[in-house]
Amino acid sequence: MICTIQRKTTKHQIDLSKPLDISIPLRASKENVNAWYLDEPQISPVRSDNWVGSVKEGGDVNFNNISFNPHAHGTHTECVGHITEEVHSVNQHLKQFFFYAEVVTVVPERSQDDYVISKKQLQHVIGNKKREAIVVRTLPNFKDKQHKQYSHTNPPYLEEAAAIYLREKGIKHLLIDLPSIDKEKDEGKLLAHNAFWNTSGNMRMDATITEFIYVANSIKDGAYYVNIQIAPFENDATPSKPILYKIVK
């Protein structure tokens, strides 16, 4: 199914029948991707008196409780409410879902004991392109990103200057294949989050960060449309399913 998207003076066509899913599914397993020192998600049938919510165990339907943390257990999209005292819901602030995006690949650079994504790197891969969203794939890009255990591993992160650069470029939606755009243990500074959402100035309430994506190596760098599908949780973050679509014309 070919869909035409009008962007000011430009029209693009995408094929809705060929989605490229860049989300990581949530499983009740120790193999589920994980961060922030939590146990794995739990999915289990409701049990009440002589009834169980499992057809396999004799129940009439499957009726599961699910316990998880959106930040720790898979692909999620968050708004500025993630770091503000005032409660802000991503469900209230993300009101559009298709965005003109650029997929870029970077190799985090060594900086003392860390690996970081720098402003210079992003300037190089974005150049003069004007995009609403940026999808960042880091190298190496092995399939183990889909079930890696990140706690206490000091994963790569964005330098504050890189986040400022994205904000000043007008990029509203940042998607990345890491558990956070900030250093795992940074004494609560969250420099990149604060910079991207501009919390010290005019806060960008409609900007989002999506973490824990996985961009397969078969997906080439370049222009796409991204559909950021979210679950309607009234929370600072929600599980999400971002989908890329190639531009066919």
The answer to whether residue 249 scores a pLDDT higher than 90 is no
Q: What is the pLDDT of residue 80?
A: 98
pLDDT band at 9 (very low <50, low <70, confident <90, very high): confident
The rounded mean pLDDT for the chain is 97
Q: What is the pLDDT of residue 8?
A: 78
Residue whose token pair is 């708004």: 79
Q: What is the pLDDT of residue 65?
A: 98
The answer to whether residue 113 scores a pLDDT higher than 90 is yes
Report the half-sphere exposure of 77 (CA within 13 A, side-chain side): 31
* Amino acid in position 25: P
Q: CA dist 75 to 54, 121, 130, 170, 194, Å?
A: 27, 24, 25, 23, 20
Number of Cβ within 10 Å of residue 39's Cβ equals 12
pLDDT band at 6 (very low <50, low <70, confident <90, very high): confident
Say what the pTM is.
0.97
- Counting residues of the chain whose pLDDT is more than 70, the rounded percentage is 100
Mean pLDDT of 214-242: 98
Domain 2-26+70-246, CATH 3.40.50.620 — does that match? Answer: no
The answer to whether residue 129 scores a pLDDT higher than 90 is yes
Mean pLDDT of 4-28: 93
pLDDT tens by residue, 144-194: 999 999 999 999 999 999 999 999 999 999 999 999 999 999 999 999 999
Name the packing angle between helices 119-126 and 160-168 (round to 10°): 30
SS3 assignment, position 163 = helix
pLDDT tens by residue, 56-92: 999 999 999 999 999 999 999 999 999 999 999 999 9
Q: Which two tokens stand for residue 227?
A: 């559909």
Q: How far apart, in whole angstroms, are the C-alpha atoms of residue 145 and residue 167?
A: 27
Q: How far apart, in whole angstroms, are the C-alpha atoms of residue 97 and residue 225?
A: 10
pLDDT band at 236 (very low <50, low <70, confident <90, very high): very high
Report the half-sphere exposure of 34 (CA within 13 A, side-chain side): 16
**What string of DSSP letters covers the chain?**
-EEEEEETTEEEEEETTS-EE------SSTTS-B-TT-PPPEEEE-EETTEES-TTTT-SS--EEEE--TTTSS-EEE-GGGS-SS---HHHH----EEEEEEEEE-PEEETTEEEE-HHHHHHHHTT---SEEEEEESS--GGGGT-B-TTS---EE-HHHHHHHHHTT--EEEESSS-SS-SSSTT--HHHHHHHTTTSS--TT-EEEES----TTSPSEEEEEEEEE---SSSEEEEEEEEEEB--
Under a CB-based contact definition with an 8 Å cutoff, are residues 135 and 226 in contact?
Answer: yes
Q: How far apart, in whole angstroms, are the C-alpha atoms of residue 116 and residue 178?
A: 11
The answer to whether residue 14 scores a pLDDT higher than 90 is yes
The answer to whether residue 10 scores a pLDDT higher than 90 is no
Domain boundaries, the chain: 2-26+70-246
